[in-house]
Structure 1
């Protein structure tokens, strides 16, 4: 495991995407922490306000290396097998990254009205140490 993915464990879309990553990765590269787990996030100095800006990816080997929002989604994609091919193509197309960033912001800001809110927080079976509440 090399990365922590901090996601909204109450967001239906976010949880669906985490579950897809869990299936693809099987806990080899990523561990998951819901942003509702404030106690675990405090270890990295991450506040609830920080989480409002979107998902966060932390390099477990160098915790100061972080990506947030659409940059985190791109880095996750890049880390997946053959993902760098698609991310590089996406970044190379003129204007597409800017549009992608804006779409990410809209989805982030309206995720509950667009995709619904879970009645309980999702905790991954591939959770970060100290972040398991199964």
Structure 2
């Protein structure tokens, strides 16, 4: 894997750029992470696919977005909560949902993830960031 995928520059969110919900979330993160903490990689790209494979996820049939930091991957609702915790105020307050036990959070996350195309739609082409956003995309 190339140097751009190292975690030394902060956490990497690997997401499905064909999913309308996922790409809207990516744009939301870029807009509300003014400190530039997160970088993003789509599962359709080389770096994102390699990170999925590294953590035992098939990039052709992912079950979760992941947040890669310090050599480990957070999945499912833990990944979403880590993203929320890293955003600017007031969005970081959503991380308070950590009080909900994982055994309740994860099934809801997995149901939405499994049905994401049916519920929110699928793009005919991958989401393309703006020129300003592109520097944070791997």
SS at 1:57 equivalent? strand
- Which position in structure 2 is the counterpart of 1:131? none
TM-superposed deviation, 1:27? 6.7
TM-score, scaled relative to structure 2: 0.74
* Correspondence for 1:52 among 55, 59, 62: 62
TM-superposed deviation, 1:113? 0.5
1:34–1:123: 8 Å Cα contact kept in structure 2? no
- Which position in structure 1 is the counterpart of 2:20? 12
Counterparts of 2:34 and 2:99, CA distance in 1: 30
TM-score, scaled relative to structure 1: 0.76
SS at 2:115 equivalent? helix
Q: Residues 79-118 of structure 1 correspond to what in structure 2 (within 5 A)?
A: 79-82=86-89, 85-87=93-95, 89-93=96-100, 97-118=102-123
SS at 2:40 equivalent? strand
2:81–2:97: 8 Å Cα contact kept in structure 1? no
Q: Residues 23-38 of structure 1 correspond to what in structure 2 (within 5 A)?
A: 23-26=31-34, 28-37=36-45
**Structure 1: 5+ residue runs without aligned partners?**
129-134
Counterparts of 1:42 and 1:92, CA distance in 2: 31
